[in-house]
Structure 1
Amino acid sequence: MTKKILHIASSTKFIFPFINLVNERFSPVDHEFLLTTDLAEDEVVYSENVKLFLVNTLFLRIKYHLVLVMKMHQADRVLLHGLFSFRLVQILFFTPWLLKKCYWIIWGGDLYSRGVGVKNWRWKIREFFRGSVIRNMGHLVTYIRGDVELARDWYSAKGQYHECLMYQSNLYKFYEIPEKNRSVINIQIGNSADPTNNHIDVFEKLLPFKDDAICIYVPLSYGSKLYAEKVIALGTELFGDKFRPITEIMSFDNYLEFLGSIDIAIFNHKRQQAMGNTITLLGLGKTVYLRSDTTQWALFKEKNITVRDVVDFKELDFCFNKHNVDMVEKYFSMENYHRQLDSLFD
Structure 2
Amino acid sequence: MAMSSALGTAAASIGTRPILHIVTLDKFIAPFIDFVEQECGDFDRHRFICLGDSQRYPLRQRPNVLLEAGLTPWQLRLELLRATNRADRIILHGLFDERAVRLLALQPWLLARCYWMIWGGDLYWYRSAPRTWAWRRNEFLREFVIRRLGHLVSYIEGDVARAREWYGARGRYRECLMYTSNVYRHAGMPPRSGGTINILVGNSADPTNEHLEVLRKLAAHRDADIKVFAPLSYGDLEYGRAIAQEGRRLLGEKFVALTDFMRPDDYLGLLREMDVAVFNHRRQQGMGNIITLLGLGKKVFLRSDISTWEFLQGLQLAVFDVAGLDPVPLDEDTARANTKIVAERFSADVLRAQLRSLFESP
Partner residue in 1 for 2:31: 17
Letter in 2 for 1:302: G
Q: 1:142 to 1:40 in 2, by over 3 A?
A: farther
1:41-83 Cα shifts (integer Å, max 9, x gaps) = 563111121111217xxx8122212211110001110001000
| 1:34–1:50 Cα contact (<8 Å) kept | yes
* SS of residue paired to 1:277: helix
CA deviations over 1:173-198 (Å, ceiling 9, x no partner):
11145543351110000000011000
- The letter of the residue matching 2:58 is E
Report the count of equivalent residues. Answer: 343
Map 1:62-77; keep pairs closer than 5 Å: 62-77=74-89
Using a 3 Å threshold, how does the CA distance of structure 1 residues 30 and 39 change in structure 2: closer, same or farther?
A: closer
What displacement does 1:315 show? 5.0
Q: In the alignment, what sits opposite 2:337?
A: 323
Q: Tell me the secondary structure at the aligned position of residue 72 of structure 2.
A: helix
Q: Distance in 2 between matches of 1:155 and 1:64?
A: 28
Q: Bigger shift: 136-145 or 110-119?
A: 110-119
Which amino acid is the alignment partner of residue 17 of structure 1? Answer: P
1:243 aligns with 2:255: yes
Q: Which residue of 2 aligns with 1:285?
A: 297
Q: Does 2:135 align with 1:120?
A: no
TM value normalised by structure 2:
0.91
Please list the CA deviations of residues 246-295 of structure 1 after superposition, one character each: whole Å capped at 9, or x if unmatched: 11111111111100000000000010000000000000010000111111
Paired residues for 1:236-315 under 5 Å: 236-314=248-326
Per mean C-alpha deviation after superposition, the further-off stretch among 315-324 and 61-70 is 315-324
Moved more, 3-12 or 217-226: 3-12
Worse overlay, 118-127 or 203-212:
118-127
Larger displacement relative to structure 2 (251-260 or 110-119): 110-119
Contact 1:270 1:291 in 2 (8 A): yes
**Structure 1 counterpart of 2:64, from 23, 26, 49:** 49
* Matched-pair identity in %: 43
2:149 is matched with which residue: 101, 122, 137? Answer: 137
Q: Specify every segment of 5 or more residues in structure 1 that has no aligned partner in the other structure, as ranges.
A: none
Cα distance in 2, alignment partners of residues 205 and 39 from structure 1: 39
Aligned partner of 1:61 in structure 2 is 73
Partner of residue 10, structure 2: none
35-44 or 16-25, which deviates more:
35-44
2:48 to 4, 17, 33: 33
Distance 2:117 2:190 in 1: 37
1:209 paired to 2:221: yes
The letter of the residue matching 1:122 is: A
Distance 2:36 2:115 in 1: 16
Report the secondary structure of 2:280's partner residue: coil
Query: What's the secondary structure of 1:103's corresponding residue?
Result: strand
Contact 2:20 2:91 survives alignment (8 Å): yes
Instruction: Kindly state the Cα deviation for residue 39 of structure 1 after the two structures are TM-superposed.
Output: 5.9
Q: How does 1:88-127 map to 2 (within 5 A)?
A: 88-127=100-139
What root-mean-square deviation, in Å, do the aligned CA atoms of Structure 1 and Structure 2 show?
1.6
Distance 1:21 1:150, change over 3 A: same
Matches within 5 A, 1:228-239: 228-239=240-251
2:350 aligned to which of 326, 331, 336 = 336
Paired AA for residue 149 in structure 2: M
